[in-house]
């Protein structure tokens, strides 16, 4: 048999999946591992889908997505951020932000083009760049700067092959947020070097301290930014698989071309549900955000009390404490914690090399489970540090 593609072979399987294959074989594990809301989709949203199924809405949609959803998204951004995205040609509905990310990379990259990408970052970013023929250029970010990238480091990484900067605030896995000033500096750099900005803002609604800055609203950003967002996190809709991209008509058409030949359209059921989420889901989403915020304080205090230094994440639903004091690597710590204390976390290295010395703890789980997990982590850490 001829070999599998070199690029695919060279890409390691996701560190998260490997770990959760082990977890799924075990009983009574307290999981701080999953990156998805523990809430069910608000009932009104599910009900809208059921009602539409009863009316026979089970067909393909336009490649771009249903007009209703694109119009709702266009209005949403106009009302909330004053952004003008023409629903007909500047918005593409995708199978989650996952597909939108893949399309964005394939639409803009030629072989060998470089994409600057702050790390630790979501597990899909580097593979998506590589699968599209590009070269990821990671910029390590550390706890002493609260995991924020510094614009100077971005500037220093630019070469004649740089095509884009990929940013995502609030961040998975660190929960880091970015100030308006810092984002404006990144936009200014992108403008000066004529780079695309891909901004994955899937956690925008899960911002706890202050207001999220939506990148394309910044002066100089709109034309060059592909804004990615979706319904998975803010509305507890991971399984519905609906995301979208907004950008200039040329890049959205390029992304649509790939989507048209490979996916056809995002599932109609999810698109119907997403319209309902925009129209009536705000309150339910806000209640979830308030609950995450309560959990955030419990987990960060608990981890620090247990001896794992942890900065307060400003967004998303992850804490990213240091485990350096224990003398174990991230992989060793996570594996031993799982087998000895039955608590699942994700090793920081799943999100890039600079994640070594950290673990990702998701607080998309109940306060009761967080408190029990912390008790076990505390016992485990004391065993290691004496």
Q: By CB under 6 A, name the binding residues for ligand PLP.
A: 35, 96-98, 122, 168, 172, 200, 202, 230, 232, 238, 243
For residue 6, the minimal CB distance to ligand PLP (Å) is 26
Closest separation in Å from C-beta 253 to ligand PLP: 22
At closest approach, how far in Å is the CB of 182 from ligand PLP? 18
For the CB of residue 202, give the shortest distance to ligand PLP in the complex, in Å: 5
Q: Residue 14 CA to chain centroid, in angstroms?
A: 14
Give, in order, the Cα–Cα distances in Å from 229 to each of 151, 205, 243.
23, 10, 6
Cα–Cα distance between 242 and 238 in angstroms, integer? 8
Nearer to ligand PLP, 109 or 167 (CB): 167
Minimal distance in Å, beta carbon 110 to ligand PLP? 24
**Exposed/middle/buried for residue 34 (C-beta within 10 Å: 0-12, 13-18, 19+):** middle
Measured CA distances, 307 to 38, 189, 208, 230, 251 (Å): 27, 39, 24, 36, 48
Residue nearest to ligand PLP (CB): 96
Structure-token match 């294959």, residue found: 21
Cβ nearer to ligand PLP, comparing 167 with 187: 167
Instruction: Please give the structure tokens belonging to residue 318.
Output: 């992850």
**Dihedral sign from CA coordinates of 100, 101, 104, 107:** negative
Burial class (CB in 10 A: 0-12, 13-18, 19+), 82: exposed
What is the separation of C-alpha 331 from the centre of its chain, rounded to a whole number of angstroms?
22
Nearest-approach distance from CB 128 to ligand PLP, in angstroms: 10
CB nearer to ligand PLP: pick between 98 and 184: 98
Closest CB to ligand PLP among 278 and 381? 278
Report the residue number, 36 or 325, with the smaller CB distance to ligand PLP: 36
- Of 350 and 374, nearer to ligand PLP (C-beta) is 350
103 CB burial (10 A radius; 0-12, 13-18, 19+): buried
């Amino acid at each position: 048999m001829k070999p599998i593609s070199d690029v695919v072979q060279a890409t390691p399987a996701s560190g998260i999946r490997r770990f959760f294959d082990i977890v799924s074989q075990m009983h009574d594990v307290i999981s701080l591992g999953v990156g998805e809301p523990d809430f069910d989709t608000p009932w009104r949203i599910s009900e809208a889908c059921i009602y539409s199924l009863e009316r026979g809405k089970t067909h393909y949609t336009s490649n771009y997505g249903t007009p209703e959803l694109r119009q709702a998204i266009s209005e949403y951004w106009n009302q909330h951020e004053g952004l003008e995205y023409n629903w007909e040609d500047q918005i593409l509905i995708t199978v989650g932000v996952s597909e939108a990310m893949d399309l964005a990379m394939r639409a803009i990259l030629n072989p060998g083009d470089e994409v600057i990408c702050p790390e630790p970052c979501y597990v899909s970013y580097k593979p998506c760049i590589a699968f599209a023929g590009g070269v990821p250029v990671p910029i390590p970010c550390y706890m002493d700067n609260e995991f924020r990238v510094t614009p100077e480091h971005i500037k220093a990484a630019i070469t004649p092959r740089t095509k884009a900067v990929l940013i995502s605030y609030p961040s998975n896995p660190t929960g880091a947020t970015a100030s308006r000033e810092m984002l404006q500096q990144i936009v200014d750099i992108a403008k000066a070097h004529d780079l695309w900005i891909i901004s994955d803002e899937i956690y925008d609604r899960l911002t706890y301290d202050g207001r999220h800055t939506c990148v394309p609203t910044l002066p100089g950003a709109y034309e060059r930014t592909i804004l990615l967002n979706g319904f998975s996190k803010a509305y507890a809709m991971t399984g519905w698989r609906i995301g979208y991209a907004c950008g200039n008509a040329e890049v959205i058409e390029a992304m649509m071309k790939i989507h048209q030949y490979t996916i056809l359209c995002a599932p109609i059921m999810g698109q119907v549900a997403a319209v309902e989420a925009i129209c009536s889901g705000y309150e339910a989403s806000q209640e979830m955000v308030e609950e995450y915020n309560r959990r955030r304080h419990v987990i960060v205090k608990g981890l620090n009390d247990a001896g794992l230094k942890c900065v307060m994440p400003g967004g998303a639903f992850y804490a990213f404490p240091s485990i350096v004091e224990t003398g174990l690597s991230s992989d060793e710590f996570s594996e031993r914690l799982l087998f000895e204390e039955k608590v699942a976390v994700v090793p920081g290295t799943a999100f890039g090399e600079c994640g070594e010395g950290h673990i990702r703890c998701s607080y998309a789980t109940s306060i009761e489970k967080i408190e029990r997990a912390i008790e076990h982590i505390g016992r485990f850490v004391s065993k290691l540090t004496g």
